[in-house]
Amino acid sequence: MEMSEPAANPAATSFPAPTISLPLGLEVLRTYSGALVCLEIFFGGLVWILVASSNVPVPLLQGWVMFVSLTTFFLSSVYLTVLITGLADRINTNWNFLDAFYHFVALLFYFAAFVLEAATTAANGGAYIKTLPNSTEPVMCITYPRGNIFTVLNEKQYSINVVATIFAFVVTLCYGGSMVMGFKRWRMQPGT
């Protein structure tokens, strides 16, 4: 009797090899996509720190900003770690699609966070807190509220929120650039 080869396990052959166009290891940092992910992490972390340091004076609006900045900071850090460590080669998925999809969702979320942070900052117009002469009690002075949303930020909170708004815009641009490059990589891969 002759020994025959065992039948191939269909479960082991049904998954395609991972699809990724970015280099793995530290070489990913030499690409535009790798540099943008680093900028997303850096500026996203600054947005998170700045909004938190302003003591979140308007939690209804800035709660979303904190959620988005913290979540995308964590997810982008994990994504970059997976690329640098080379784990992307061991996880069978279409990394090009995952990259484009993640950056699309992050762009939408961060754009909303940017708009809410800008609204929080802009809604402060006309209000300030000062101490009246011959008094020790602070008094809120309202010159003329603009719009339907009105916030009261002290000078420090206002300044911090202006900088956080600028950085949120920068992060939004970074996620937009990453999304465009990820979409191009996904569309250029064979079979799509």
Q: What is the pLDDT of residues 60-115, one digit of tens each?
A: 888 999 999 999 999 999 999 999 998 888 888 888 899 999 999 999 999 999 99
Q: Do 131 and 139 form a contact (C-beta atoms < 8 A)?
A: yes
Give one word for 147, left, alpha or beta, with left for phi > 0 and alpha for psi -120 to 50: left
pTM of the full structure = 0.78
**Residue 9 predicted with pLDDT over 80:** no
**Residue 124 predicted with pLDDT over 90:** no
Calpha distance 45→39 (Å, rounded): 10
Q: What pLDDT does 152 receive?
A: 67
Closest CA to 154 of 171, 140, 144, 168: 140
Arithmetic mean of pLDDT, 114-132: 75
Q: Read off the tokens for 100.
A: 């484009």
Q: What pLDDT does 174 receive?
A: 96
Confidence of residue 2 (pLDDT cuts 50, 70, 90): low
Residue the block writes with tokens 């300044």: 159
User: Beta strand 138-142 with 127-131: parallel, antiparallel or unpaired?
Assistant: antiparallel
Amino acid at 22: L
Q: Do 167 and 50 form a contact (C-beta atoms < 8 A)?
A: yes
Closest CA to 46 of 101, 54, 99: 54
Q: What pLDDT does 20 receive?
A: 74
Contacts of residue 86, Cβ cutoff 8 Å, sequence gap at least 6? 24, 25
Between 9 and 121, the higher pLDDT residue:
121
**Residue 39 predicted with pLDDT over 90:** yes
**Residue 4 predicted with pLDDT over 80:** no
Give one word for 155, left, alpha or beta, with left for phi > 0 and alpha for psi -120 to 50: alpha
Q: What pLDDT does 32 receive?
A: 92
**Residue 131 predicted with pLDDT over 70:** no
Arithmetic mean of pLDDT, 136-165: 71
Rg (CA), the chain: 24
